[in-house]
Amino acid sequence: MSEDFRILATAIVPEAATLDEPGWSAVEAAVDDALASRPESVRRGLLLFIRVIGWISLARFGRRLRSLDAPRLERLLRSFERSPVLLLRRGFWGLRALVFLGYWGRPEAAAAIGYRARPEGWGARR
């Protein structure tokens, strides 16, 4: 993934700011695994969407994502989240879902919030 992915992930899940390099590698590996079963066009679409966010940031604020302050970055992402353009809205919600999967799917994050789900489901409690 890219630096912009990490910036967006941190804006979506602020706790991600505390991740070290192995933590980011785990997040990115989870996202890559999730995308592995999808057509290549989906992966290309995600990367293109991240670039589009960067271009819009540059056009709207005259700054790249890495140079945006938190309020501007939040405003930018909210504009995608609530966009009247369905493709932009879907892109944001897809990116958001992947960030959640990557961050909260890590065993460390699950343990931190006390999440103890198991593949056996409710059968594990018996």
pLDDT in tens, 10-66: 999 999 999 999 999 999 999 999 999 999 999 999 999 999 999 999 999 999 999
- Confidence category of residue 108, pLDDT binned at 50, 70, 90: confident
In a domain, 10, yes or no: yes
Number of domain units in the chain: 1
Whether the full predicted model's pTM is greater than 0.75, yes or no, is yes
Which one-letter DSSP state was computed for residue 13?
Answer: S
Residue 124 covered by a domain: no
- 104 located within any domain: yes
- Give domain status of residue 15, yes or no: yes
Instruction: State how far the Cα of 88 lies from the Cα of 81, in Å rounded to an integer.
Output: 8
Indicate whether 125 belongs to any domain: no
Residue at 121 is within a domain: no
Is residue 45 situated within a structural domain?
A: yes
CA–CA dist 22, 7 (Å, integer) = 16
Domain around 16: 3-115
Which residues fall within 8 angstroms of residue 115, CB to CB, at 6 or more apart? 104
In this structure, is residue 120 part of a structural domain?
A: no
